[in-house]
Chains A and B, each alone.
Chain A
Amino acid sequence: AQSVTQLGSHVSVSEGALVLLRCNYSSSVPPYLFWYVQYPNQGLQLLLKYTTGATLVKGINGFEAEFKKSETSFHLTKPSAHMSDAAEYFCAVFTNTGNQFYFGTGTSLTVIP
């Protein structure tokens, strides 16, 4: 079975500071990995995804994530936080054997002016 763990349900950063949101997964087969963002009272929007190939993945709004198989991690980073980045972020995993998406419990990002 697959599972996703997001360390830190709440993260606060100052505007302009590095954003680091942590995601670890458990999967017995090669996973597909995703980060989604959810703004208040909205649905989820895809930030980026890892399928195959290059392990450093760039997404929208300046976010990127690196797939590290040895660490079973897929942490999300952004060099400089903007106020508009304040939202909830979800990591998710999908495998073709499971045929389902599994989501982490989410990390709420607050950006302090």
Chain B
Amino acid sequence: NAGVTQTPKFQVLKTGQSMTLQCAQDMNHEYMSWYRQDPGMGLRLIHYSVGAGITDQGEVPNGYNVSRSTTEDFPLRLLSAAPSQTSVYFCASTSSGRGTDTQYFGPGTRLTVL
């Protein structure tokens, strides 16, 4: 198993550009989520999904869109990038979204918005 994979590893955008961060898992996990990590702020939840076709907002959803058309993939879209979205983004998955499950993290995408 590859686990949770994320692409790209690094990305530089100009303000106003759009892009999609890719996340995939091969563990047949139902629950997937996106976090951003900023210095001194820990990880903050952006969006999550409890299964294909079902998404919900986390703590900091503004400026981001998600969709979940398959169990395996959970892309994160930035519609119009802003410097405030400069961050490291992590995708994670758990088998069912219950608290007893282990959450597996991808290696992260480091995004810079100029």
Size bracket, chain B contacts: 20 to 34
Instruction: Choose one: B90, B97, B98; the contact of A44 (CB below 8 Å).
Output: B90
On whether the beta carbons of A103 and B105 are closer than 8 Å, the reply is: no
Instruction: Choose one: A43, A102, A105; the contact of B90 (CB below 8 Å).
Output: A43
Q: A-B contact count, CB below 8 Å?
A: 58
B45: interface (CB < 8 Å)? yes
B48: interface (CB < 8 Å)? yes
On whether the beta carbons of B42 and A104 are closer than 8 Å, the reply is: yes
In the bound complex, residues from chain B placing their C-beta under 8 Å from that of A102 are 45, 59
Instruction: Choose one: B33, B40, B50, B107; the contact of A101 (CB below 8 Å).
Output: B33
Within 8 A of A (CB), among B12-47: 33, 35, 40-45
| A22 → B minimal CB distance (Å) | 14
A70: interface (CB < 8 Å)? no
| B11 → A minimal CB distance (Å) | 15
In the bound complex, residues from chain B placing their C-beta under 8 Å from that of A45 are 105
Q: How many residues of chain A get a CB closer than 8 Å to chain B's CBs?
A: 27
B53: interface (CB < 8 Å)? no
A32-B99, A42-B107, A45-B105 given; A90·B48 CB < 8 A = no
In the bound complex, residues from chain A placing their C-beta under 8 Å from that of B50 are 99
In the bound complex, residues from chain A placing their C-beta under 8 Å from that of B56 are 99
* Most chain B beta carbons < 10 A, residue from A32, A43, A95, A100: A43
